[in-house]
């Protein structure tokens, strides 16, 4: 995975600092061209991975990417699913059957039969497979090397003890899409225990990781212990803790932690994108200098 990943919260009015900023961002990105311009700015600063929900407007962004294969030949998307609001809105507007018709993949009759049998037999794994297939339709022809399960489902299954479904998601994504499954969570230590129990080795896990314990179940200590002791590929998100600490302090903390392979952030302006990328590079370079310093000579070593 790339060291820096660009997120999509700002494109759809999601802001952890203020409702006013959310409103301003929703206005700024009301058309798809503004989203594409910001993605191109991120690419100009060396970011070639976009992690996004399966919001309906992402389909338009995918169409634009597909229409420019040379321009986006190195570009990757990490889909995060399901986008719960999409399904809730569809049921409200179209009813349950209308929502199924809108979102089920492939041949409608075959999908309905498969889904109906799944519901009758309470085969939630089949339902899950239908959901993934439905969400992945918009990414046809685009590189999606990692496909994520959103924390709303990951943590629900975790809380219910239905961890076998996490393994089913992992296996289906590998076999059907030849990609790796990623899991987003608000409880990193507990999820790692569950994935280990299900035999998922060295998983990709995205979680809130920041200096003040913002949205980190149990606080910093169990997370820092997990990063130090467990085998997994970590992606840190919500590094700024909703604006509680400065960007410089935030990235210095995260970049000093072990086992964090990637850092996920979102930004709506070129200035913020450039500053964030620079802060990550500076913090990483500082850590490299620390690690390259020779160990101090102990008196016992000299006497020997």
Residue 53: pLDDT band by 50, 70, 90 thresholds? Answer: very high
Number of domains in the chain: 1
Which residue, 209, 207, 259, is CA-closest to 230? 259
Structure tokens at 54: 């399966």
Residues 112, 102: contact at Cβ < 8 Å? no
Q: Residue 80 above 60 pLDDT?
A: yes
Residue 125: pLDDT band by 50, 70, 90 thresholds? Answer: confident
Residue 24: pLDDT band by 50, 70, 90 thresholds? Answer: confident
Q: Check residue 104 and give its pLDDT.
A: 56
Give per-residue pLDDT as tens, 167-181. 999 999 999 999 999
How many other C-beta atoms can be found within 10 angstroms of the C-beta atom of residue 87? 18
Whole-angstrom Cα distance, residue 38 to residue 29? 9
Q: Range of 226's domain?
A: 4-303
CA distances from residue 236 to 34, 73, 187 in whole angstroms, order as listed = 26, 26, 13
Question: What is the pLDDT averaged over residues 81-106?
Answer: 62
Structure tokens at 220: 């910093």
Q: Residue 261 above 70 pLDDT?
A: yes
How many other C-beta atoms can be found within 10 angstroms of the C-beta atom of residue 218? 14
Q: Where are the alpha helices (DSSP H) in 145-304?
A: 151-160, 164-177, 188-197, 220-229, 247-255, 270-292, 299-303
Give per-residue pLDDT as tens, 113-123. 555 544 544 57
Q: Where are the alpha helices (DSSP H) in 104-184?
A: 108-120, 124-136, 151-160, 164-177
Whole-angstrom Cα distance, residue 209 to residue 220? 8
Torsion from C-alpha of 71, 76, 80, 82, nearest 10 degrees:
60
Q: Check residue 70 and give its pLDDT.
A: 97
- Assign residue 132 the CATH number of its domain: 3.20.20.70
Considering the chain, what percentage of its residues have pLDDT values greater than 70?
82
């Amino acid at each position: 995975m790339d060291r820096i990943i660009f997120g999509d919260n700002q494109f759809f009015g999601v802001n952890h600092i203020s409702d006013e900023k959310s409103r301003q961002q929703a206005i700024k990105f009301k058309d798809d061209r503004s989203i594409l311009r910001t993605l191109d700015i991120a690419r100009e600063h060396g970011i070639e991975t976009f992690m996004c929900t399966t919001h309906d407007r992402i389909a338009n962004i995918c169409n634009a990417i597909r229409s420019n294969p040379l321009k986006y030949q190195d570009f990757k998307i990490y889909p995060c699913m399901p986008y719960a609001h999409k399904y809730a809105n569809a049921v409200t507007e179209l009813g349950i059957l209308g929502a199924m018709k809108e979102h089920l993949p492939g041949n409608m009759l075959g999908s309905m039969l498969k889904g109906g049998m799944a519901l009758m037999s309470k085969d939630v794994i089949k339902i899950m497979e239908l959901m993934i297939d439905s969400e992945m339709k918009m990414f046809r022809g685009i590189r999606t090397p990692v496909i994520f399960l959103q924390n709303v489902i990951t943590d629900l299954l975790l809380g219910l003890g239905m961890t076998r479904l996490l393994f089913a998601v992992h296996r289906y994504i590998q076999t059907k899409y030849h990609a790796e499954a990623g899991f987003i969570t608000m409880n990193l230590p507990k999820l790692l225990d569950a994935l280990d129990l299900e035999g998922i080795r060295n998983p990709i896990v995205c979680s809130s990781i920041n200096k003040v314990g913002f949205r980190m179940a149990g606080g910093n200590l169990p997370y820092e212990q997990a990063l130090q002791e467990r085998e997994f590929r970590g992606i840190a998100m919500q590094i700024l803790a909703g604006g509680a600490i400065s960007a410089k302090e935030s990235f210095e903390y995260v970049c000093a932690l072990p086992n964090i392979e990637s850092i996920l952030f979102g930004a709506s302006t070129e200035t913020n994108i450039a500053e964030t990328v620079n802060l990550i590079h500076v913090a990483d370079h500082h850590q490299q200098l620390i690690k390259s310093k020779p160990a101090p000579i102990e008196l016992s070593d000299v006497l020997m």
